[in-house]
Structure 1
């Protein structure tokens, strides 16, 4: 059976996917290229977000050299998260409507150059400009706002598992701090910025250039699972929505008026922007303040990253028990982890640090892809890139508060205890907002459109 060749406008849509009844139209190869995309996402997430997550390892030597307050220094991480959140919807929109391959290459280039520029910084405003403004623009255009929609295009089923698998790279980006700590101990923090910038340019750019494809149609393929009747029907409905040939569906206007979207944004803001990054931005310095060496502090950070990866590999759990129950488990683990961290007073009980790293890491690993999968459950369609960008905006709005506020509270009180208690409150609230967002009602919501 022949098929009319899609025009340029049609090629950016998912209407090329056909139902199971037309399964004979194309033949799926023995090896599905979507798994290459997953591999690219893992490596990309590790390298792109490793530049940001290494902040807590750079934090102590920068404080030692310049003597700035913790609040004002941590503000560069807050700015990084805010600008990232504000830029993510733009990246998502370009991903939907322009040339994703070109966008992601530009993003990786900006990220590499901004990271290298940090090596020359000598004033606080230099860090605000390079680390706080330019680096997150590169991150947004080469990271999850691009990779997330790409994965949603390539996989029509088991998205919870796929999002979790791909975000293993995000977990490994936290272990990147251990590598950064070793390099800093050998060559100093300035040359270390050159090293990680060189890795972005030498590894990430060629990888994206040669292997990245935004849609399966770019390779003459259909999404994974598209041959199953139920999935095919949903994809056909999404295609009709893209073509505006039928009334209803999640238009951008309808999505923006939905409280489900904004409670998902609130969940991302509370859990990650305020809660998680208030802790992550300061955990290495907290461990050093207690009396441990910088190597031990970095190893705790690395252990956290390993368990983030383990949690992300387990994120397929949300496909089985539901998104809400999975996020609830993540919240419980975060509360237990922070209780252990607050209990650390000296170097006599190192097991508390490792308990914190394992519980917090595993919970965070479960939470990140589950929130994103919940968004995909309800809103996947033509405007999904923009909406996933809005999720990152929520993260950015919370992020301008979290790291800076943690440092400010320390500067005022001389302790991180109140900051960590506030983070625990944010974790609990994030669980409530996710239940209100109700991804479990996705099919019912679509039926009502």
Structure 2
């Protein structure tokens, strides 16, 4: 049961002249969450530009550096469902503030490391746990609490903010690594995480009920679905939801498709695109700038995906997204060169529109099939996303060390995306919205 004490539901608070405010308070809450996700995105951008500097400075193999990235990605996912349960118990602000502090500490301490196990502990474990608490489960929790209408659109906007911010930071971090050193990158990430804390503490409310409001689009007789009480606390709540969801075919199809989503984005392209382009003679800063362009078009694509999710069958949207992504990854090895040319720009635009467009329909399917448990179920689905990302981040590093290139990794990822498209279409259409 949540420890947050909320007043009874009421209508929107009136202005001093008795009129309702023109802007529903859900929109400022979403704006603060968007800024927090964008501002804190530096810690998700760093691994891609640190692989080559760490390899040059310490002589560590790319596989061992990728292992730390893999731990980070897996913990990022495994932490998400527990973070969603903690947000139910202690509130959004406390959980997100603690997560940002952990990220700042873990990133800042890397400047003192001298062995790969320290990289795994600091960047893999500490930053992984912190980023997991700021994961897409945070997005699902905010949209579930503050919105009834436009949930798909808002999910798309918040998801795009985090993903686009992560990629837009890349050229800045690459420039810092090239002009100064990798320690400067770590300290910049630490500072960025700390800079977000005041925004969260001052402006992010836990629930609309805390200010006497109802969620955006809620009817006058709206009653929020109450999650079942869990006497064992957030951990028991998260595990109980997993046990219940794991009995359904829908959960495993969602988890499987999202694992492939993570493998084909964060795990492969997000981690290894820059080193793969550098293998073909492209400067690191130019390759990082291409990933930043992916982030810009991701913003457009994911917001559009949220709009589509409010209007079309989420299963069909996922099938289209995965199929198109698979085709683009199959073509990518043919496009690498020592300079940026038009076919590569076309890939960047096309792939960017699809980068995290899968999130809004996946969140919507979790909500429709699992009702009040939807955010925590999505947390577990996100865990599979990051397990897939972590596994491929490590395996792609091994492929590079053993074969001297990444081509095989991109071809396999493209084939997996085709499998994900079939799995998405196999998800049963919910007969009605589930409630508890």
Normalising by structure 1, report the TM-score. Answer: 0.86
Task: State the Cα distance separating 1:11 from its structure 2 match.
Answer: 4.2
Q: Please give the residue correspondences for 1:189-338 in structure 2 after superposition, counting only pairs within 5 Å.
A: 189-201=182-194, 203-227=195-219, 232=222, 238-239=225-226, 242=228, 252=241, 254-273=244-263, 276-315=266-305, 316-338=307-329
Q: Return the alpha-carbon distance in structure 1 between the equivalents of residues 146 and 289 of structure 2.
A: 36
C-alpha distance in 2, partners of 1:136/1:221?
Answer: 35
1:310–1:365 Cα contact (<8 Å) kept:
no
1:435 is aligned to 2:410: no
Q: 1:65 aligns with which of 57, 60, 68?
A: 57
Match runs of 1:40-439 below 5 Å:
40-170=32-162, 171-201=164-194, 203-227=195-219, 232=222, 238-239=225-226, 242=228, 252=241, 254-273=244-263, 276-315=266-305, 316-347=307-338, 350-381=341-372, 383-438=373-428
- CA 24–366 in structure 1, closer or farther in 2 if over 3 Å, else same: closer
Q: Distance in 2 between matches of 1:348 and 1:193?
A: 28
Moved more, 326-335 or 413-422: 326-335
204-213 vs 420-429, greater mean Cα deviation: 420-429
C-alpha distance in structure 2 between counterparts of 1:278 and 1:344, whole Å: 16
Quote how far apart the aligned CAs of 1:17 are.
5.1
Q: Is the 8 A contact 1:44 1:169 kept in 2?
A: no
Task: State the SS of the aligned residue for 2:430.
Answer: helix
CA RMSD, Structure 1 to Structure 2 (Å)? 2.7
Separation in 2, partners of 1:145, 1:410: 33
Deviation at 1:385, TM superposition (A): 3.6
Residues 57, 10 of structure 1: CA spacing in aligned structure 2 closer, same or farther, 3 A cutoff?
closer
Determine if the alignment matches structure 1 residue 446 to structure 2 residue 434: yes
- Describe the SS at the equivalent of 1:223: coil
Measure the CA separation in 1 of the matches of 2:355 and 2:5. Answer: 36
After alignment, is 296-305 or 393-402 more displaced?
Answer: 393-402
Give the Cα separation in 1 of the matches to 2:145 and 2:132.
18
Distance 1:152 1:411 in 2: 44
Question: Are the aligned partners of 1:274 and 1:401 in contact in 2 as well (CA < 8 Å)?
Answer: no
1:158-216 residue CA offsets vs partner (Å, 9 max, x unmatched) = 21111001112122211111111122233221122112211211x21001111111211
Change (3 A) 1:409 1:185: closer
**Equivalent residue of 1:437, what SS?**
coil
Which residue of structure 2 lines up, in the alignment, with residue 248 of structure 1?
A: none
Q: Distance in 2 between matches of 1:137 and 1:373?
A: 25
Cα separation, partners in 2 of 1:8 and 1:108, compared to 1, 3 Å? closer
Shift of the 17–298 alpha-carbon distance from structure 1 to 2, 3 Å rule, reads: same
Give how far 1:223 is off.
0.6
Identify if the C-alpha distance between structure 1 residues 156 and 185 changes in structure 2 by more than 3 Å, giving closer, same or farther. same
* Structure 2: distance between partners of 1:334 and 1:311: 13
Query: Partner of 2:310: helix, strand, or coil?
Result: helix
Determine helix, strand or coil for the equivalent of 1:321. Answer: coil
Q: Distance in 2 between matches of 1:99 and 1:432?
A: 38
Offset of residue 384 of structure 1: 3.3
Change (3 A) 1:444 1:31: closer
Secondary structure, counterpart of 2:80 in structure 1: helix
Aligned-residue offset at 1:131? 0.8
Q: What stretches of structure 2 of length at least 5 have no aligned partner?
A: 231-239
Q: Report the alpha carbon displacement of residue 8 of structure 1 after superposing the two structures with TM.
A: 7.3
Secondary structure (helix, strand or coil) at the match of 1:73 reads helix
